[in-house]
Amino acid sequence: MPKKLHLAIWLILIAVFSCEDTEIQNNIRVLVTGNVIDQNAQPIANANVKVYADADAFGADRVLLGEGVSNASGSFNITSLFGPNQLFLVDISSGAQYSTYRYQTNTEEFTPGDLTFNLQTVALNAMTNFTYNIIRESGESNTLYYRFTYFDANCTEVYEEGILNESLSNCDNTRVIGSTLDDASPNAENISFVVPLQSQVEFSYRFNEDDEISEFITVNSADYAFQFSY
């Protein structure tokens, strides 16, 4: 059999046998419940809560099973459709001003005995833009190496049979942004990234061949602006 034909048949077989529709059981409903607070333990009202199912297979669609919002005390109780799928997701958000949270589990392997997914307390961090300007004032031939290290507050928690799997979860990550400023590009102007309000950003820099210096910046206001010259 020609190699190209053999490869084509193999790809077709993979596509056929890996196709799987997201399954919904119309006779089952589950309750998704919890409470949403901010970083100061204050309730977040009108947070969006969306429940999805996904077979996580070629050709499968992600299906919205249910949705709602938190009340004035931050609580939510959502009656949702259900089905055995690779991915059962609960996404919680409250606009661009807050971080996001995702609950993830596999309902092919796990269904709570009381048909209730209790997320308990979910904390979203208030977020803000951190905008920096670094300007060279020392003249040509001077170089600055810099980086910002900051906290990413968006969180995905993965549960297996109702137990948190920390190794598969993705929370409390740090991010790094930086560059080298020299004669070809001496300034970094109006560059922004998003950080949690009241968090600390580490700014590290090295001027020419000097030792590296690090300082910590507390982001204590919305739309925080940072200026630095070298």
pLDDT for position 59: 66
pLDDT digits (tens, 9 = 90+) for 178-190: 999 999 999 999 9
Asked if 32 and 76 sit in the same domain, the reply is yes
End-to-end CA gap in the chain: 67
Asked if 139 and 81 sit in the same domain, the reply is no
pLDDT for position 17: 43
pLDDT digits (tens, 9 = 90+) for 39-76: 999 999 999 999 999 987 666 788 999 999 999 999 99
- Our count of domains for the chain comes to 2
pLDDT for position 172: 86
Which residue is listed with tokens 């190794």? 167
Asked if 106 and 134 sit in the same domain, the reply is no
- The CATH number given to whatever domain includes residue 114 is 2.60.40.10
Q: Give the whole-angstrom CA distance, residue 15 versus residue 20.
A: 10
| Strand, helix or coil for residue 16 | helix
- The CATH number given to whatever domain includes residue 142 is 2.60.40
| Side chain identity, residue 57 | A
Asked if 82 and 147 sit in the same domain, the reply is no
Instruction: Extract the residue ranges of the chain whose pLDDT is less than 50.
Output: 1, 3-19
Asked if 44 and 138 sit in the same domain, the reply is no
Task: Tell me if 183 is assigned to some domain.
Answer: yes
Asked if 116 and 177 sit in the same domain, the reply is no
Asked if 89 and 146 sit in the same domain, the reply is no
Task: Tell me if 4 is assigned to some domain.
Answer: no
Q: Residue 101: phi, psi to the nearest 5?
A: -135, 140
pLDDT for position 9: 43
Task: Tell me if 94 is assigned to some domain.
Answer: yes
- Provide the domain limits for residue 39: 21-123
Asked if 131 and 84 sit in the same domain, the reply is no
